Amino acid sequence: MEFGAFSVPEDLEAEKAGGLAPLEPGHSYLALLSHSGSRGVGNKIATRFSKIAEERRGGLEGEAKKLAWLELSSEEGQEYWLSMRLAGRFAAANHAVIHERIARRIGAEAAFVTEHHHNFAFAEEWRGEEMVVHRKGATPAGAGVLGIVPGTMADTGYVTLGLGAEDSLNSAAHGAGRRMSRTRAFKELDDAAWREDLRKKGITLLGGALDEAPKAYKNPRHGDGLPGQPGRDRRGVLPEDRAHGRRLEEGPAQAEEEAREFYGPLAECQPLRADSEVAEGQSFRNPLLRVPQAPYRG
């Protein structure tokens, strides 16, 4: 859960600005971002039906077992599909309750709400064919679809507008992915240095552990979590994805430029500084901008 100052660029194109209405270009708002799943329900559903799928595909061996599938026309496939969608609705309900309660406690009203789902399967049409697109670590980026590419607790996040790149299955990265595992973060990162870095940046930490420290994640501003242009040098997909081109570190500036061209960030969400004008409430048109990450459509 994060609070931040959300700024809508003054020179934002009218067509894109319309997707953020009633927010106004050139103004800043208080943003509330939450990232939460179905509180373990989705994991239990996935574990149960993955096991069933492996039993049905007995010919798969080793790591290939993880690719086991269920026919959607089968009883188990339908049960899994409905259970997964139920978990999605449950996750969305969690966000709605969280944001409603916080808004009520601070006496604010939502000016704008957007949601975005990841680690989910979507029934979509792709090149004229109906398909199920499973986005693990990815999120929908169809033409005109609003998205959220969050940074770490100390980095900029983006509200974005998808361009519908078919070569990427209308998908984009869902945020600043991990640079190291939670276990490794606890072993290698310095707790005191992490907290001092946040203090210097004017960021107040209300809760959280070392496994959520910024150094445990990639930085979207350097192109590390934003997609590259399909069909071109795709360095913005993953920093070490050798199947898609050279390492991102060779040209982070160009990667960010290509990412912007592909996914079209609408606005930035900067961490809220305690000493900023925004923090003092002097430039808010609306007291609360509600921007949860995990949505459910359908």
116-138 pLDDT tens trace? 787 888 888 888 888 889 888 78
Provide the residue type at 7 as one letter. Answer: S
Question: Closest Cα to residue 27, out of 112, 151, 113, 146?
Answer: 112
Rounded CA-CA distance 124/166 in Å is 12
Is residue 25 within 8 Å of 9, Cβ to Cβ? yes
Q: Does residue 173 or residue 196 have the better pLDDT?
A: 196
Task: Enter the pTM of the model.
Answer: 0.69
User: Cα separations (Å) of 214 from 40, 151, 237?
Assistant: 25, 9, 20
- The CA radius of gyration of the chain, in Å to the nearest whole number, is 20
What's phi and psi for 248, nearest 5 deg?
-60, -35
DSSP E strands in 21-84: the ranges are 28-33
Give the pLDDT score at 12: 85
What's phi and psi for 174, nearest 5 deg?
-95, 5
Give the pLDDT score at 208: 84
Is residue 167 within 8 Å of 231, Cβ to Cβ? yes
Rounded CA-CA distance 214/38 in Å is 24
Give 221's pLDDT tier (boundaries 50, 70, 90): low
Give the pLDDT score at 149: 82
The SS3 assignment for 68 reads: coil
Mean pLDDT across the chain: 75
Q: Under 8 Å CB-to-CB from 73, ≥6 apart: which residues? A: none
pLDDT at 195 over 60: yes
Rounded CA-CA distance 254/240 in Å is 16
pLDDT at 51 over 90: yes
Give the pLDDT score at 54: 94
User: Cα separations (Å) of 241 from 224, 248, 249?
Assistant: 11, 9, 11
Provide the residue type at 233 as one letter. Answer: D
Is residue 256 within 8 Å of 173, Cβ to Cβ? no
What's phi and psi for 179, nearest 5 deg?
-95, -25
Give the pLDDT score at 192: 95
Which single residue is written with the structure tokens 């921007």? Answer: 291
Q: How many CB atoms lie within 10 A of CB 75?
A: 9
Specify which of 56-60, 81-85, 231-235 reaches the highest per-range mean pLDDT: 81-85
Q: Under 8 Å CB-to-CB from 279, ≥6 apart: which residues? A: 5, 272, 273
Give the pLDDT score at 266: 52
Rounded to the nearest 10°, the torsion over CA 221, 225, 230, 234 is 80
Q: Does residue 24 or residue 273 have the better pLDDT?
A: 24
Cis peptide before 25 (omega within 30 of 0): no
pLDDT at 222 over 70: no
pLDDT at 292 over 70: no
Each residue's pLDDT tens digit, 245-291: 222 334 444 444 544 444 444 555 444 433 333 333 333 333 333 33
Q: Under 8 Å CB-to-CB from 135, ≥6 apart: which residues? A: 118, 119, 120, 121, 122, 171, 174
Distance from the Cα of residue 99 to its chain's centroid: 17
193: left (phi over 0), alpha (psi -120 to 50) or beta: alpha
Give the pLDDT score at 18: 85
